[in-house]
């Protein structure tokens, strides 16, 4: 793909889930089981939905996890939350005034539902109706310039006045300025820790206002302090929620560029604000523009870029699941397990390439990858790539 077309939007996701999985109505007990499975050690979103597809319910998947992990070579028991653990977490969430939204719920954000794979559950605090409104992400440097902050605030205010929700990460700098401009019209904060943990601490007042007037969401457990490895997951949600993402200031290698990369992978529109070549905070945004992002000088640039797609729904690729009889699946997985471990290494490889080189049924290969992940031996990376830990 040429650099001129690098940022051409796809307008669709690549989630491999069946229609039955996305349209189910969960009971309170089923939501509790979804929470338990999503909180189980080594179960990420891809493995969550692979288990759900294979076993039908989260409760049955939880029962199967220990045996699958042993087949993957785990040497100790996995941490699986008990029923009471999940009930306590949900009780604490309710006491906080929050609520759980599962990816099967009708008001689960359409942009996230279209991801491959979406966060199975979100904890949310604040205005539930904002979940289903169109959003625009605005992110940028924490050490933002005065002009950058001013621009982000005005940009957010104008985008909000056009009826769109502004989404960001509650960080210092550009994120904070974006909220200051959009609190009156609708805003969403995505946190890297639990929705009850304010980070950075100096944004406590802003957090309280967003929680009261807007929306706060996170896929992390209550009480979880944000850690470095959590921020890419937060950035993925920001871009996933959004129709497009605006980068105001970003140095090379910054978290804002990680958000832009996720947005590109997800088929979202990318907008970048140009800056002086002498300012390191403009290096990332200027490069994005060279690579094809929309040069952004006002909200009109964003609104005009999004106008053709705002009336459309986020699309999912509800692929036909490739299933085998359980006994056949186990036999085929046993045949290919050694070959998969041999092909894997510390450098990530696309799952499709593993399927091609193994020459075995894709469900068997995917089953072995799930076993390895449950055993803590597999690292999933963007672009449907995997590597050994």
pLDDT digits (tens, 9 = 90+) for 57-76: 999 999 999 999 999 998 78
pLDDT at 81 over 90: yes
pLDDT tens readout for residues 100-116: 999 999 999 999 999 98
* Structural tokens at position 130: 């904002």
CATH number of the structural domain 132-310: 3.40.50.450
Between 361 and 147, name the one with better pLDDT. 147
Percent of the chain with pLDDT over 90: 81
What is the overall mean pLDDT for the chain? 90
Task: Let me know: does 118 contact 112? Beta carbons within 8 Å.
Answer: yes
Instruction: Tell me the C-alpha distance between 117 and 115, whole Å.
Output: 5
CATH number of the structural domain 326-388: 1.10.10.10
Fold held by 19-126? Rossmann fold (3.40.50)
Examine domains 132-310 and 326-388 and report if their fold is the same: no
**CB count in 10 Å sphere of residue 359:** 9
**CB count in 10 Å sphere of residue 27:** 9
Query: 220-236 burial, b if ≥16 CB within 10 A, otherwise e?
Result: bbbebebeeebbbbbbb
Q: DSSP readout, 154-223?
A: HHHHHHHHTTPEEEE---TTHHHHHHHHHTTT-EEEE-SS-TT--SSGGGHHHHHHHHHHSEEEESSPTT
pLDDT at 316 over 60: no
pLDDT tens readout for residues 176-218: 999 999 999 999 999 999 999 999 999 999 999 999 999 999 9
Q: What are phi and psi of 87, to 5 degrees?
A: -65, -40
Instruction: Tell me the C-alpha distance between 389 and 380, whole Å.
Output: 9
**CB count in 10 Å sphere of residue 84:** 8
The whole-number pLDDT of residue 158 equals: 98
Instruction: Tell me the C-alpha distance between 94 and 31, whole Å.
Output: 14
Please report, for the chain, the start and end positions of each structural domain, with discontinuous segments joined by +.
19-126, 132-310, 326-388
**CB count in 10 Å sphere of residue 18:** 15
* Structural tokens at position 121: 């559950």
* Mean pLDDT, residues 287-307: 97
* Mean pLDDT, residues 262-283: 95
Q: What are phi and psi of 123, to 5 degrees?
A: -100, 135
Instruction: Tell me the C-alpha distance between 224 and 229, whole Å.
Output: 12
Instruction: Tell me the C-alpha distance between 363 and 193, whole Å.
Output: 34
The structure's pTM equals: 0.89
* Mean pLDDT, residues 145-174: 97
Q: DSSP readout, 26-66?
A: --HHHHHHHHHHHTSTT--HHHHHHHHHHHSSHHHHHHHHH
The whole-number pLDDT of residue 360 equals: 86
pLDDT at 87 over 80: yes
Residue 9: which pLDDT band, with cuts at 50, 70 and 90? Answer: very low
Percent of the chain with pLDDT over 70: 91
């Amino acid at each position: 793909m040429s650099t001129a077309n690098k940022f051409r939007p796809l307008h669709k996701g690549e989630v491999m889930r069946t229609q039955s999985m996305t349209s189910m109505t969960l009971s309170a007990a089923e939501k509790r089981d979804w929470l338990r499975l999503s909180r189980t050690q080594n179960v990420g979103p891809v493995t969550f939905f692979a288990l759900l597809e294979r076993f039908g319910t989260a409760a049955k998947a939880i029962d199967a996890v220990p045996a699958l992990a042993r087949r993957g070579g785990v040497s100790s028991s996995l941490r699986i939350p008990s029923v009471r653990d999940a009930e306590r977490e949900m009780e604490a969430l309710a006491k906080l005034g929050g609520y759980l939204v599962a990816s099967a719920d009708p008001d689960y954000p359409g942009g996230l539902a279209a991801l491959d794979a979406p966060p199975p559950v979100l904890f949310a605090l604040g205005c539930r109706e904002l979940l289903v409104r169109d959003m625009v992400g605005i992110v940028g440097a924490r050490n933002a310039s005065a002009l950058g902050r001013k621009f982000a605030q005005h940009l957010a205010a104008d985008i909000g006045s056009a009826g769109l929700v502004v989404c960001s990460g509650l960080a210092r700098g550009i994120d904070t300025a974006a909220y200051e401009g959009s609190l009156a019209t609708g805003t969403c904060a995505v946190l890297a820790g639990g929705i009850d943990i304010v980070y950075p601490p100096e944004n406590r007042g802003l957090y309280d206002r967003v929680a009261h007037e807007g929306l706060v969401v996170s896929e992390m457990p209550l009480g979880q302090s944000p850690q470095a490895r959590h921020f890419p997951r937060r950035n993925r949600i920001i871009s996933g929620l959004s129709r497009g993402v605006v980068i105001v200031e970003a140095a090379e290698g910054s978290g804002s560029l990680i958000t832009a990369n996720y947005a590109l992978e997800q088929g979202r529109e990318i907008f970048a604000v140009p800056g002086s070549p002498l300012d390191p905070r403009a290096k990332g945004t200027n490069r994005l523009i060279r690579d094809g992002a929309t040069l952004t000088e006002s909200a009109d640039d964003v609104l005009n870029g999004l106008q053709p797609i705002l009336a459309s729904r986020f699309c999912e690729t509800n692929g036909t699941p490739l299933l085998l009889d359980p006994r056949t699946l186990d036999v085929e997985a046993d045949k290919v397990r050694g070959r998969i471990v041999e092909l894997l290494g510390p450098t990530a490889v696309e799952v499709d390439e593993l399927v091609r080189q193994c020459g075995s049924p894709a469900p068997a290969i995917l089953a072995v990858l799930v076993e390895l992940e449950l055993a803590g031996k597999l690292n999933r990376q963007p672009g449907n790539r995997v590597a050994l830990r």
